[in-house]
Every structure is written in structure tokens, then in C-alpha cells.
């Protein structure tokens, strides 16, 4: 990870993960051993032992996931509290941090989902991210380069959708459509008013299909629409959203 300025450093360290992974490994080991005993010599005691370690494994895994969520929020927390439109250097550091999160192994991708959800929910941070990308003051090339590659994480399509190249933006919209998340909605609304017709068409198609299948996305889309309501192609989006 890049050496972040002090104001953007996470609130906590990664060392706390050991306090979860050691018990988790032990629970996996004991659950496997008790399963073997249950298969070889089934008995009431064997069942009780298997249930004991099985429930322990479930509880420990839940604790691990909670700690992963906490670490992800801690890593992005300083940006959420401080970063606002106009702080170009801060957004550069944000994208470097997100690139680090994207580079984590596949089994750590939960952090990417938590991070994306947190960013999309912060209206002021999102506003600055979209504006500075539109003005080409910050670069999302690191995410565009991973678009379409095997193993690309959840952060890649939405951030690649902010790339200056219209073909990349269109490909990112299509990628988001494959497994749409609520956090993708602000990025799709931005692309729905894109100056490139092909990008607009792709974004409209995705929004129309997803809003029809998942009406719960409509409030999020309407909130995001307020950011683009004065843009040239906004009326078509307003009709799509029933505004």
C-alpha cells in the first residue's frame, strides 16, 4: 500500500485479523476431525461434538466477516470524513487506495464491496469523484486496464465507467449490467447523460431493465438524478425514472 498522508491513514491496523484467523483455523480443523469421527464411528456423542465445533465454526466465520467489514470501513473512513470536491490530490490518493483494495486476493473481495457501497452512499464524495474524472483531473486508468480481465473485482466496472474513452465507458456499463449492485446506480445515471450516444443507449437499457425487475432501485436512481438534472440529456433520464 502506498504511504498515505497522515489525514488519510486508516484508523486501525491489520494485526487484529490474527485474533480471528487463528481460532477460525482451529474450528475448521476440529470440525473436519469431528466429521471424520462421525462418519467412522457414528454415535450421539460424535453428533454432539460435531454440532459443537460446527456452531463454533459458524460463529467464528461471522466474527471474521464482521472484522473484514470493520477494516474496510476503517480504510476508507478518513476519505469519507474529509474528502470533498476541489481536493484533487485527495482524490488521487483515494483512487490509489481503491487500486490497492482491488488488488487484494479474490477471497478478500468482500472489502471491495464494502468500500464501493460506502463511496456510493456519500453524496459529497461521489460528486467530487464524478466532477474531477469528467474534467480529467484524476485518472481511473488502473481500473480500465483490468476491465474484462478474469478476477476483476467489484470496484473495476463503476470506476472504469469514469474513463475518458467512450468505448471503455460503454464496456464498463455492460460489465455492471452482468451483476448490478445498488452502488452502481449513481455511475449508471452519470453514463445515462453521457455525450456519446452508444454509452447513453447502453446505460438506458441497463437502467430500464433493472428498474423494471428491481423497483427498490428507483429511489437511489432518483437521488443520483439530482446530480445530473441540468445536463443536456437529462430529460430522457427523467422520463425513464418517471419524473
Whole-number Å distance between alpha carbons of 7 and 9: 6
Under DSSP, the state recorded for 212 is H
3-class DSSP string for 128-176: HHHHHHHCCCCCCHHHHCCCCCCCCCCCHHHHHCCCCCHHHHHHHHHHH
Greater pLDDT, 100 or 159:
159
pTM over 0.85: no
Q: What are the Cα distances from residue 210, in Å, to 120, 122, 177, 205?
A: 18, 22, 8, 9
> Within 10 Å of residue 124's Cβ, how many Cβ atoms?
11
**Cα distance between residue 147 and residue 162, in whole Å:** 12
- pLDDT (tens digit per residue) in 105-140: 565 677 888 889 999 988 999 999 999 999 999 999
Quick: pLDDT tens for 69-84: 777 777 888 888 888 8
Q: CB count, 10 Å around CB of 84?
A: 14
CA dist 139 to 96, 123, 160, 201, Å?
Answer: 10, 20, 10, 24
Short-list 152, 150, 134, 132, CA closest to 142: 152
- Cα–Cα distance for residue pair 172/162, rounded to 1 Å: 9
What mean pLDDT, rounded, does the chain reach?
85
Closest CA to 151 of 109, 115, 118: 109
If one compares 224 and 60, the residue with the highest pLDDT of the two is 224
Q: Do 204 and 192 contact (CB within 8 A), yes or no?
A: yes
d(CA 108, CA 150): 16
Least confident among 53-67, 84-98, 154-168 = 53-67
Amino acid at each position: 500500500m502506498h504511504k498515505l498522508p497522515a489525514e488519510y491513514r486508516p484508523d486501525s491496523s491489520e494485526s487484529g485479523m490474527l485474533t480471528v484467523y487463528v481460532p477460525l483455523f482451529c474450528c475448521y480443523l476440529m470440525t473436519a476431525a469431528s466429521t471424520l469421527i462421525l462418519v467412522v464411528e457414528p454415535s450421539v456423542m460424535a453428533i454432539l461434538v460435531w454440532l459443537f465445533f460446527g456452531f463454533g465454526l459458524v460463529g467464528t466465520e461471522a466474527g471474521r466477516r464482521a472484522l473484514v467489514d470493520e477494516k474496510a470501513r476503517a480504510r476508507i473512513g478518513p476519505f469519507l470524513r474529509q474528502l470533498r470536491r476541489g481536493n484533487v490530490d485527495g482524490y488521487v490518493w483515494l483512487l490509489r487506495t481503491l487500486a490497492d483494495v482491488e488488488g487484494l486476493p479474490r477471497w478478500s473481495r468482500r472489502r471491495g464491496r464494502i468500500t464501493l457501497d460506502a463511496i456510493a452512499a456519500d453524496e459529497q464524495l461521489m460528486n467530487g469523484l464524478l466532477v474531477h474524472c469528467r474534467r480529467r483531473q484524476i485518472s481511473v486508468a488502473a481500473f480500465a486496464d483490468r476491465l474484462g480481465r478474469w478476477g476483476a473485482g467489484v470496484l473495476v466496472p463503476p470506476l472504469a465507467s469514469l474513463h475518458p474513452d467512450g468505448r471503455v465507458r460503454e464496456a464498463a456499463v455492460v460489465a455492471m449490467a452482468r451483476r448490478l449492485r445498488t452502488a452502481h446506480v449513481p455511475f449508471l445515471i452519470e453514463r445515462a447523460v453521457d455525450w456519446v450516444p452508444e454509452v447513453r443507449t447502453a446505460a438506458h437499457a441497463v437502467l430500464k431493465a433493472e428498474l423494471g425487475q428491481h423497483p427498490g432501485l428507483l429511489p437511489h436512481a432518483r437521488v443520483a438524478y439530482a446530480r445530473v438534472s441540468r445536463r443536456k440529456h437529462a430529460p430522457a433520464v427523467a422520463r425513464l425514472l418517471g419524473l
